[in-house]
Amino acid sequence: MLGRPEFPLLSKKGDITIGGAFSIHSQISKPSLSFTDNPEPLTCSEFRFAQTMIFAIEEINNSSSLLPNISLGYKIFDSCGSTLPSTRAIMGLINGQERILGKNCSGLSSVHAVIGASESSSTIGMLQISGIFQIPISHFATCACLSNRKQYPSFFRTIPSDYYQSRALAKLVKHFGWTWVGTVRSDNDYGNNGMTTFITAAHQEGICVEYSEAISRTDSGEQVARVVRVIRSGSARVLVAFLAQSEMNVLLEEALKQNLTGLQWVGSESWITAGHLANKRYSSMLMGSLGFTIRKTKITGLQEFLLQVNPSQDAQNKLLREFWEATFDCSFKSDLHGQSHCSGSERLQDIHNPFTDVSELRISNNVYKAVYAAAHAMHSMLKCGQTGEAVNQSCVWKDHLEPKQVVRHLQDVNFTLQSGERVYFDGNGDPAATYELVNWQRNRAGDSVFVAVGSYDASLPNGKQFTMNGINITWVPVSVCSEKCPPGTRKVLQKGKPVCCYDCIRCAEGEISNITSVTCTRCPPEFWSNNRRDACIKKEAVFLSFEEIMGALLTIASLFGTCMTALVAYIFFRNRKTPIVRANNSELSFLLLFSLTLCFLCSLTFIGRPSEWSCMLRHTAFGITFVLCISCVLGKTMVVLMAFRATLPGSNVMKWFGPAQQRLSVLGVTLIQIIICILWLIISPPFPSMNFKEFKDKIILECALGSAVGFWAVLGYIGLLAVLCFICAFLARKLPDNFNEAKFITFSMLIFCAVWITFIPAYVSSPGKFSVAVEIFAILASSFGLLICIFIPKCYIILLRPEKNTKKNMMGKGSIK
C-alpha cells in the first residue's frame, strides 16, 4: 500500500517529460486534511492506463519519424480518484523538485504536458491549481464544463464531452419508447453536469424523470441506502446511471443488500464497459444494461508489452510489487500470515487478468492517443523534419518550451494512428463525438460480454445520428408512467404529475385520434368520426330524393296534379263550344290550364340531388310559371269586371279589353317576372351548396339562393299579383250571373295567399330537406287550389249537370226544370 503519493510512482528522464495522473488507487474513505489516508488496493484498469502511456512513449522513442533525436520521459502520479490526492499529484508535476513539502516551491514545471486526470472533478482541481503552467490532455474527464475555453484555455481531451453523450442517452431512451425513467448520478462535476444535460434533452424528447438522486463515494451508508430505497419504490423500470466507477461500486453493493432487481440499467461510458462490474457478483443485476462508450480499437504490441511487466524491472518500485502481489495473491514480505511467497518468476501469461485483457481497448486507446497528440505537438513546435533534407531531421531543441506555444501547436494537431483512426481537436479542445452502443449479454460460456448493437455520431444531421445495427438486445422492458392511449382517445394530464402521466378519455364527436397522434383532431367538414373515433368517414349527404317516402309522395302529388290538369283540359277541349266554356274566356282558360301543368311539373325540379342547373331552374321556373298562372287568373277576373261594365248603357269598355289586349296583358305581366329572373341569374344565381350547420353528422345538400334579393323579388312579385287578383275577384263576387267565376277566383286566391303567407315562416324555420318539402307543398297546394276552385265546378256542370250548361243559365235569364 502506498502512503505518500507526492512522489512519482513511475518515472523516467528524457529531453521532454510527459506527466501522468491516474486513479491507480481508489480513495473510498472520507478524506481528511492528513496526508496519511490509506487508499484502497489499486485498480487494474488504471494501472493499465499508466502502462499504456509508458508503452506509447517507448514506441515514440523508438520511432525515427516522430521527434527524432528527442527522448521522451515520464512522471506518473496517483490521483487516487479524489481531489486531495489529485492536488498533491499536480503539485508534484508543477514543482521542479521531487518533494512538494520542502521549503522551495518556486521551480519551473518539471513536465511539458500531462496525461490525465481520470475524473472530471480531479481534472478541474488540477486546472485550477496549475493554470497555464500545465497542458492537460485528459483521457477520461468528460464533463461538458471543461469545454469552456475562457475558463480552461489549455485543456484538451481525447474522450468526447458529456454534452454529446447525455444527448445520445436521451435519444436512446426515446428510441425504446421509455417515457418514464429514474436517474442517479455522481455528486460531482461529472455527474451533475452530465445529468443536467440529459434531463434537458430528455424533456425535449418527451421523456419524464420520476426521480433524480445523487450519491458520492464519501456518503454515509444510510445515505446510499436511502437512494436505493427511492429506486426500489419508484415505478420506473429504467434507471439512467450517470456514475463514475467508484460511485457505481458503492451503489451496487447497497443494491445487492436490498435485492434490487428488475431494472433496465442505462449507463454512462464511465462504467458501462468496466470489466470488474461484469463479474458474477453483479452480472445478474446488470445483465441487459445499455450504454454508450467510445469505440474500441486494437493497439499493436500493447499486450506483449503488458505481459512483460515484472517487479524485476525496478526492484525498488513499490507500485510494481503491489501490482504483483495483488495479481498473484502472494507477498514479498517475510511474515506471510498464510499467504504464499512471491518469487517474481510468476508469469502473467499463465493467468486470466483484466490488466492483460486487451479485447476492450477503449480508454486505454484514449491514453495512447493523448501521448501521440502531445508528441505531434512537440514535433511541430520543435520544427522536426521540416527543412526537407531528411525525414529524420534533428529537431531544433529549445531549453524552455513556452506553454502557450505548446497549446497552439496542440490545437493544430491532425494525424492518423496506425489503426487508421484520425486524431484532431475542435476549437474547444474536444475530439469528434462518436460512440458505440453496447449491450450486456451472456455468451455460451455464461460470461458477461459487451456487444455493440448501435452507434451515435454527433457530426451527422439530426435524425441520422443514432442508428441500430439490428443485433438482438437482451431484455428491454416497458417503462412508462401511463400506457399509450389507444386510438379514439386523447390524453388528459393527471393533476400534479408530470406530462408522461395521464388518463385516456374518448374523443368528442367529430374528432379522431390514431396510433400516431396524441390528441384528438377534428375531421374535415365533409367527414365525421366513426363509432370508435379512430377514423373519419364521409358524412351522409341529405337531400330530398325521389326514393324516400316524402319525396315519392310529393312526386305522386305532382304527377297527380299534372294528370288532373290534363284531364280538365281534355274535358274543356271536348266541350269547348258549350256556353260554360265559351262564357269564361276559353283562350285564357286553356292558357291557365297550361300554366298550372307547368306549376305541377316545376315542383319536380326541387326533388333530387341539387346541381348547378337544377338550382337555377327550380326557382326561376317556379317564379315564371306562377306569374303566368296568376296573370291568366287576373285576366279572367278583369274580363268579368269589364263584361259587367259593358252591359251598362253607353259603355264601350270591352273594346279596350278585347282578346288582343288580354293576350298582351298576360305577356307583359309575365315578361316582368322573366326580366327579374334573368337579372337574378346574371347577378348572383342560385348554386348548390353543402350545409354543415344543421346536423353534426350529416351534410345537407341544398341550393343556396345566391342573391336573397332576387329570391324575395320573385316571391314578392307573385304576391303582388295575387293580392291584385284577389281584390279584383272580390269586387266581382256579387255580379248577377248564375255562374259567377269571380266567386271561385276569390276563394282560390284566399287559398293561394294563405298558403304562401304560411310558407314564409315555415320555409325559414325548416331545416335541410324539409324546407324544400315545404316549398313543394306550397306550390302543389296553391296549384291544386287554383285548379279545384276555378275548374272543378265547371267540370261538374259539364259532366254531371249538362242541363245548366246553357246561355240563359249563364246569364241568369232562364230556369232549369
Answer yes or no: do 409 and 385 share one domain: yes
> Cα separation of 809 and 790, whole Å?
18
Range with lowest mean pLDDT among 47-51, 247-251, 652-656: 652-656
Question: CA angle 461-465-470, nearest 5°?
Answer: 140
Beta carbons within 10 angstroms of residue 453's beta carbon: 18
> Cα separation of 453 and 643, whole Å?
110
> Which three three-digit cell numbers place residue 278?
461484469
Answer yes or no: do 284 and 419 share one domain: no
**Secondary structure in 3-state letters for 286-352:** HCCCEEEECCCECCCCHHHHHHCCCHHHCCCCHHHHHHHHHHHCEECCCCCCCCEECCCCCCHHHCC
SS3 content of the chain, % helix, strand, coil (to 5): 45, 15, 40
Range with lowest mean pLDDT among 170-174, 236-240, 402-406, 573-577: 402-406
Q: Please, which residues bridge with residue 448 across strands?
A: 442
Residue type, 200: T
- In this predicted model, what pLDDT tens digit does every residue of 775-796 receive, in sequence order? 888 888 888 888 888 888 888 8
pLDDT at 251: 95
> Which three three-digit cell numbers place residue 502?
395521464
Confirm if 241 and 213 have CB atoms less than 8 A apart: no
Answer yes or no: do 452 and 400 share one domain: no
Answer yes or no: do 167 and 155 share one domain: no
Evaluate if residue 255 carries a pLDDT over 80: yes
768: Cβ contacts below 8 Å, ≥ 6 apart: 542, 543, 691, 694, 695, 698, 700, 702
Q: Please, which residues bridge with residue 416 across strands?
A: 422
Instruction: Report which of 59, 481, 13 is spatially closest to residue 299, judged by C-alpha positions.
Output: 59
Confirm if 256 and 285 have CB atoms less than 8 A apart: yes
> Cα separation of 250 and 116, whole Å?
23
Confirm if 116 and 22 have CB atoms less than 8 A apart: yes
Range with lowest mean pLDDT among 570-584, 614-628, 638-652: 638-652
812: Cβ contacts below 8 Å, ≥ 6 apart: 736, 737, 738
Backbone angles phi, psi at 415, to 5 degrees: -145, 170
Q: Please, which residues bridge with residue 521 across strands?
A: 512
Cell 284577389 sits on residue:
726
Confirm if 526 and 539 have CB atoms less than 8 A apart: yes
Evaluate if residue 35 carries a pLDDT over 60: no
The mean per-residue pLDDT over the stretch 771-775 comes to: 84
> Cα separation of 264 and 655, whole Å?
111
First to last CA, the chain: 153
pLDDT at 104: 38
pLDDT at 112: 83
> Cα separation of 161 and 194, whole Å?
9
User: For strand 466-468 and strand 448-457, is the pairing parallel, antiparallel, or unpaired?
Assistant: antiparallel
> Cα separation of 154 and 601, whole Å?
98
729: Cβ contacts below 8 Å, ≥ 6 apart: 633, 637, 742, 743, 745, 746, 749
> Cα separation of 745 and 752, whole Å?
10
Query: Does the residue 72 lie in any domain?
Result: yes
Evaluate if residue 667 carries a pLDDT over 80: yes
The CATH number linked to 228 is 3.40.50.2300
> Cα separation of 265 and 236, whole Å?
11
Query: Does the residue 518 lie in any domain?
Result: yes
Best-predicted range by mean pLDDT (25-39, 387-401, 442-456): 442-456
Confirm if 783 and 555 have CB atoms less than 8 A apart: no
Query: Does the residue 204 lie in any domain?
Result: yes
> Cα separation of 18 and 37, whole Å?
27
Confirm if 53 and 367 have CB atoms less than 8 A apart: yes
pLDDT at 584: 61
pLDDT band at 266 (very low <50, low <70, confident <90, very high): very high
94-119 burial, b at 16+ Cβ within 10 Å, e below that, comes to bbeeeebeeeeeeeebbbbbbbbbbb
DSSP H helices in 481-585: 549-574, 579-582
Answer yes or no: do 642 and 726 share one domain: yes
DSSP H helices in 684-768: 708-731, 741-765
pLDDT at 102: 36
- In this predicted model, what pLDDT tens digit does every residue of 281-315 receive, in sequence order? 888 899 999 999 998 889 999 999 999 999 888 87
Residue type, 92: G
Cell 342547373 sits on residue:
613
Last residue within a domain, chosen from 538, 560, 595: 538
> Cα separation of 233 and 235, whole Å?
7
Q: Please, which residues bridge with residue 735 across strands?
A: none
pLDDT at 97: 44
Answer yes or no: do 657 and 758 share one domain: yes
Evaluate if residue 105 carries a pLDDT over 60: no
403-424 burial, b at 16+ Cβ within 10 Å, e below that, comes to beebbebbeebebeeeeeeebe
Q: Which H or E run includes 592? A: helix 586-602
> Cα separation of 237 and 559, whole Å?
77
Evaluate if residue 813 carries a pLDDT over 50: no
What are the start-end ranges of the E strands in 636-708? Answer: 687-691, 698-704
Cell 316524402 sits on residue:
550
> Cα separation of 295 and 421, whole Å?
10
Q: Between residues 51 and 519, which one has the greater pLDDT?
A: 51
> Cα separation of 413 and 429, whole Å?
11
- Full residue range of the structural domain in which residue 271 is found: 162-293+433-468
pLDDT at 742: 66
Residue type, 241: A
DSSP characters over 425-460: --TTS----EEEEEEEEE-TTS-EEEEEEEEEETTS
Confirm if 680 and 713 have CB atoms less than 8 A apart: yes
Evaluate if residue 817 carries a pLDDT over 50: no
> Cα separation of 553 and 545, whole Å?
11
Beta carbons within 10 angstroms of residue 285's beta carbon: 18
Query: Does the residue 630 lie in any domain?
Result: yes
Cell 327579374 sits on residue:
676
- In this predicted model, what pLDDT tens digit does every residue of 181-223 receive, in sequence order? 999 999 998 899 999 999 999 999 989 999 999 999 889 999 9
Answer yes or no: do 76 and 122 share one domain: yes
> Which three three-digit cell numbers place residue 303?
499486450
573: Cβ contacts below 8 Å, ≥ 6 apart: 590
Answer yes or no: do 784 and 735 share one domain: yes
Q: Mapping DSSP to helix (H, G, I), strand (E, B) and coil, where does residue 540 land?
A: strand
Query: Does the residue 476 lie in any domain?
Result: no
Confirm if 493 and 502 have CB atoms less than 8 A apart: yes
Q: Mapping DSSP to helix (H, G, I), strand (E, B) and coil, where does residue 23 land?
A: coil
The CATH number linked to 749 is 1.20.1070.10
Answer yes or no: do 457 and 345 share one domain: no
> Which three three-digit cell numbers place residue 770?
324539409
Query: Does the residue 5 lie in any domain?
Result: no
Answer yes or no: do 698 and 614 share one domain: yes
Answer yes or no: do 348 and 373 share one domain: no
Percent of the chain with pLDDT over 70: 86
Range with lowest mean pLDDT among 350-359, 388-397, 531-540, 798-807: 388-397
Query: Does the residue 266 lie in any domain?
Result: yes
Q: Which H or E run includes 29? A: none
Q: Please state the length of the chain.
A: 817
Instruction: Report which of 380, 368, 369, 370 is spatially closest to residue 408, judged by C-alpha positions.
Output: 380
> Which three three-digit cell numbers place residue 373?
497528440
Query: Does the residue 544 lie in any domain?
Result: no
Confirm if 147 and 430 have CB atoms less than 8 A apart: yes
DSSP H helices in 445-578: 549-574
The total number of structural domains in the chain stands at 5
Answer yes or no: do 214 and 325 share one domain: no
Full-model pTM: 0.65
Q: What is the mean pLDDT of the chain?
A: 83
pLDDT at 99: 39
